[in-house]
Amino acid sequence: MNGELVGTWTVERGTHVFRYEAAWKKSSRCRSLSLSLPLTGAKEIKGDLVRNYFDNLLPDSEKIRQRLGRRFKTPTAEVFDLLEAIGRDCVGAVQLLPPGESPEDWKRVECEHLSEQDIVDLLQAVPSELTPEGMEDDDLFRISMAGAQEKTALTRWQGAWCRPHGATPSTHIFKLPLGLIGGSRRVDASDSVQNEWLCAKILEALGLPMASTSMETFGEQTVLIVERFDREWQDDGTWIARLPQEDFCQALGFAPSQKYEAEGGPGMAKCLQLLQGSRDKDDPAFFLLTQLTFFLLAATDGHAKNFSIYLEQGDHYRMTPLHDVLSMWPYFGDAPSQFKRHRAGLAMTLRSKNPHKYFHTIEARHWRQLALKNGGPAVWEAMQALVEGVDDALHEVQTQLPPNFPERTWTAISTGMKSEANRFMSEAEGLPPA
């Protein structure tokens, strides 16, 4: 982490093993690599907890993993082999290097300015097994980012987009459009960049901390650019620190294949239990308000890997800003190439007296019961205030829409949100005082 050796990860007879360095335990910046891999306790940590932590650093998509394996000619597409090849710039502060090797010049910026054509070539190469001419085996591609979407990362430096070299970290993630989603249903999500940008602006307008996003076009390719909240400029912009963080799957010891509650992963109760230990006492309420906003946005992908915490000295922690929010409103309908709304729901089931997963079955009284159980009347009042602010938030965001913003995306999301907000407020009026 930021030039200091934290520990050693090995695979011994098929078992994943992690050992903390003695010097790290004495460091002024000491903290656990993960809440699931605590510093105190055994000399070494073995088994699935170790494997799961590192597995969560890789892209979720098996297709992307296989392609990375072919690109870097790894012996297998297993976690250790892939991260040995691409683990030099991971999410959070982790850098994975061979034994005996340390990051050089990590307290300075080493970057190469890219032309627009360079970036066009780079983006075209992201979903392929090839790298642009002249960029073979470059640091640029030895970057590991979790998630299911095609993406790459660059560094913003001296007013230009740059290719980071050596120990210099990336500062921004470039996300490409999803294209067709939904398996055999083949739903057109080619507007996913605009959709995710719009969701981010709506969340910001509603007062929820959100990763800073922008849209930019290179050649004919529009991408979503997300400023990394796990990076921070230091000493008047002379170097970039990596901020330790992990997603909820890592913190709770789950494999990435369990990111959804329906697949055995964490639900709201497990996440709220984690956040009871947060240094920020408002984090549990923030989490619940986020779930309510997902309901209004018809955002179905709020799984455990899309929530993260900063890891601070002494194993204190707090939630990071939100990221990766996509509304399904533009993709609902009765056509074969659309999703059925009555079958869509939250990634984490809302449990009041009974479980409620599907959007159309969730009512204001269920949110009230959830709020009163997890924070009391103040959380319920915050929920009502958030919903009452939807119209103003949408009006604010509408003034920020760039020219040629897709009408379908704006109309579907804004109309859908208003409809659900009105339903919520109508139902809430008939409820007894908290």
Identify the band that residue 102 occupies on the pLDDT scale cut at 50, 70 and 90: confident
User: Could you give the residue numbers annotated as active site?
Assistant: 301
Q: What is the CATH number of the domain that holds 385?
A: 1.10.1070.20
Whether pLDDT at 140 is above 50: no
Percent with pLDDT over 70 in the chain: 94
- Across residues 72-76, what is the average pLDDT? 91
pLDDT, tens digit, 9 for 90 and up, residues 215-239: 999 999 999 999 999 999 999 889 9
Q: Could you tell me the two tokens for 413?
A: 């999301």
pLDDT of residue 32: 96
- Kindly calculate the radius of gyration of the chain based on its CA atoms and give it in whole angstroms: 22
- Tell me if 266 is assigned to some domain: yes
Distance (Å, whole) CA 364 – CA 426: 9
* Residue closest to 254 by CA, chosen among 241, 263, 243: 263
Three-state SS string across the chain, please?
CCCCCCEEEEEECCEEEEEECHHHHHCCCCCCCECCECCCCCCEEECHHHHHHHHCCCECCHHHHHHHHHHHCCCCCCHHHHHHHHCCECCCCCCCCCCCCCCCCCCCCCEEECCHHHHHHHHHHCCCCCCCCCCCCCHHHCECCCECCCEEEEEEECCEEEEECCCCCCCEEEECCCEEECHHHCEEECCHHHHHHHHHHHHHHCCCCECCEEEEEECCEEEEEEECCCEEEECCCCEEEECCEEEHHHHHCCCHHHCCHHHCCCCHHHHHHHHCCCCCCCHHHHHHHHHHHHHHHCCCCCCHHHCEEEECHHHCEEECCECCCCCCHHHECCCCCCECHHHCEEEEEEECCCEEEEHHHCCHHHHHHHHHHCCCHHHHHHHHHHHHCHHHHHHHHHCCCCCCCCHHHHHHHHHHHHHHHHHHHHHHHCCCCC
Whether pLDDT at 409 is above 60: yes
Mean pLDDT over the full length of the chain:
91
Count Cα atoms within 13 angstroms, Cβ side, for 275: 26
- Tell me if 58 is assigned to some domain: no
The answer to whether 61 and 68 are in contact (CB under 8 A) is no
Query: For the chain, what is the domain count?
Result: 1
CA-CA distances (angstroms) from residue 219 to 14, 117, 126, 132, 223? 46, 8, 15, 15, 11
Among 27-36, 64-73, 356-365, the minimum mean pLDDT is found in: 64-73
Instruction: Tell me which residue has tokens 């297993």.
Output: 78
pLDDT of residue 138: 45
pLDDT of residue 137: 42
- Tell me if 382 is assigned to some domain: yes
Whether pLDDT at 434 is above 90: no
Q: Counting Cβ atoms within 10 Å, is residue 351 exposed (0-12), middle (13-18) or buried (19+)?
A: middle
Amino acid, res. 419: S
- Tell me if 340 is assigned to some domain: yes
Distance (Å, whole) CA 421 – CA 360: 13
Distance (Å, whole) CA 19 – CA 45: 7
Range of the domain at 404: 244-429
- Tell me if 363 is assigned to some domain: yes
Identify the band that residue 426 occupies on the pLDDT scale cut at 50, 70 and 90: very high
pLDDT of residue 136: 40
Distance (Å, whole) CA 47 – CA 37: 11
- Tell me if 395 is assigned to some domain: yes
- Across residues 69-89, what is the average pLDDT? 90
Identify the band that residue 146 occupies on the pLDDT scale cut at 50, 70 and 90: low
- Tell me if 63 is assigned to some domain: no
Please indicate whether residue 153 or residue 136 has the higher confidence score (pLDDT).
Answer: 153
Whether pLDDT at 26 is above 60: yes
Distance (Å, whole) CA 306 – CA 93: 18
pLDDT of residue 133: 39
pLDDT of residue 179: 82
pLDDT of residue 131: 40
The answer to whether 325 and 193 are in contact (CB under 8 A) is no
Q: Counting Cβ atoms within 10 Å, is residue 102 exposed (0-12), middle (13-18) or buried (19+)?
A: exposed
Distance (Å, whole) CA 403 – CA 400: 9
- Across residues 109-125, what is the average pLDDT? 93
Model's pTM, two decimal places? 0.93
pLDDT of residue 132: 38
- Tell me if 121 is assigned to some domain: no
Please indicate whether residue 262 or residue 142 has the higher confidence score (pLDDT).
Answer: 262
- Across residues 172-178, what is the average pLDDT? 93
pLDDT of residue 45: 96
Whether pLDDT at 431 is above 80: yes
pLDDT of residue 100: 82
